[in-house]
Structure 1
Amino acid sequence: MRLCSIASGSSGNCIYVGSDQTHLLVDVGISGKRVEQGLNELELTGRDIDGVLITHEHSDHIKGLGVLARKYQIPVYTTGGTVDALSRMNLGKMPEGIFHEIREDETFSVGDLKIDPFTISHDAAQPVGYRIECDDHSVGIATDLGKYNEYIIENLQNLDALLLEANHDIRMLQVGKYPYYLKQRILGDRGHLSNENAGRLLCRLLHDNMKAIFLGHLSRENNYEELAYETVCSEVTLGDNPYKSRDFKIQVAKRDCISEVITV
Structure 2
Amino acid sequence: MECTVLASGSSGNCMYIRSGESALILDAGLSKKEIITRLSASGKDPGIVDAILLTHEHTDHVRGAEALARELNLPLTGTGGTLTAFRSTRQAIKKQAPQNPCRYNTSFTAGEFVVTPFAVSHDAVEPCGYSIRCGDLCLSIMTDTGIVTPHMMEYLSASDGIVLESNHCPEMLAHGPYPEYLKRRIRGKTGHLSNTMAADCIRDLKGSIGTVILSHLSEINNTPKRAFASSQEALGLDMSYIDLRVAAPGIGCSCLSKTIKIG
Q: TM-score range by the shorter chain?
A: over 0.9
2:166 maps to amino acid:
A
Whether the 8 Å contact between 2:26 and 2:54 is mirrored in structure 1 is yes
SS, match of residue 157 in structure 2: coil
Stretch deviating more after TM superposition (135-144 or 85-94): 85-94
- Matched residue of 1:6: which SS? strand
Structure 1 portions without partners, runs of 5+: 238-242
Between 1:164-173 and 1:47-56, the stretch displaced more is 47-56
Q: Aligned partners of 1:197 and 1:49: how far apart in 2?
A: 33
In the other structure, the counterpart of 1:240 is none
One-letter code aligned to 2:233: S
Q: Could you tell me which residue of structure 2 aligns to residue 114 of structure 1?
A: 114
In 1, the alpha carbon distance for the partners of 2:149 and 2:103 equals: 19
The answer to whether the Cα contact below 8 Å between 1:214 and 1:252 also exists between their aligned partners in 2 is yes
Cα distance in 1 for partners of 2:47, 2:65 equals 14
Residue of structure 2 equivalent to 1:216: 215
2:170 aligned residue? 170
Secondary structure of residue in 2 paired with 1:25: strand
Could you tell me whether the CA contact under 8 Å between 1:7 and 1:15 is conserved in 2? yes
Moved more, 180-189 or 68-77: 68-77
**Structure 2: which 5+ runs fail to align?**
none
Alignment correspondent of 1:233: 232
Cα separation, 2, equivalents of 1:67 and 1:46: 14
Residues 116-174 of structure 1 show CA distances to partners (whole Å, capped at 9, x for unaligned) of 10000000000000010001001011111110111110011132211110000011111
Partner residue in 2 for 1:69: 69
Q: Which residue of 2 aligns with 1:247?
A: 241
Check the 8 A contact 2:218/2:249 in 1, yes or no: no
Change (3 A) 1:148 1:88: same
* TM-score, L = length of structure 1: 0.92
> Percent identical across equivalent pairs?
35
The answer for the alignment partner of 2:5 in structure 1 is 5
Compute the RMSD of aligned alpha carbons. 1.7
1:19 to 2:35 alignment? no
What displacement does 1:89 show? 1.3
The one-letter amino acid paired with 1:108 is F
Q: TM-score, normalised by structure 2?
A: 0.93
